[in-house]
Amino acid sequence: MAKHEPDLSLLFHALADPTRRAILSRLAAGPAPVTELASPTGLRLPTVMRHLSVLEEAGLITTSKDGRVRTCAIVPQALGPMRTWLDDQRAIWEARLDRLDDYVLQLMKDRER
């Protein structure tokens, strides 16, 4: 049975929403205030704050407050567990496909005989 990693589930959940992915794309260019992140979404500020809360809970962003301005910044290393999991899955499936390829080639050789 696969090991259950709650942090990995939080990452996938956070990245499942296109609005949150758009926010992360914007933050990849540098930190931004919440109002700047909210403006292209067309969503109300409380809705954007909920999206930011999900991203922060997953560890993908950090927020800081200076007076009345809340600024968000991306945490690129937070994708590490996801990258590791995906690399592991790729290795498993490549090995399975290699075995399937070997099996099919063996069947073709056996048919030729």
Q: CA 98, CA 92: separation in Å to the nearest integer?
A: 10
Confidence of residue 7 (pLDDT cuts 50, 70, 90): confident
The domains found in the chain, sorted by start residue, are 8-112 (1.10.10.10)
SS3 per residue for the chain: CCCCCHHHHHHHHHHCCHHHHHHHHHHCCCCEEHHHHHHHHCCCHHHHHHHHHHHHHCCCEEEEEECCEEEEEECHHHHHHHHHHHHHHHHHHHHHHHHHHHHHHHHHHHHHC
Task: Supply the pTM of this predicted model.
Answer: 0.78
Q: CA 38, CA 23: separation in Å to the nearest integer?
A: 9
pLDDT by residue (tens digit) across 26-56?
999 999 999 999 999 999 999 999 999 999 9
Count CA atoms closer than 13 A to 15's CA, side-chain side. Answer: 12
**What Rg, from alpha-carbon coordinates, does the chain have?**
21
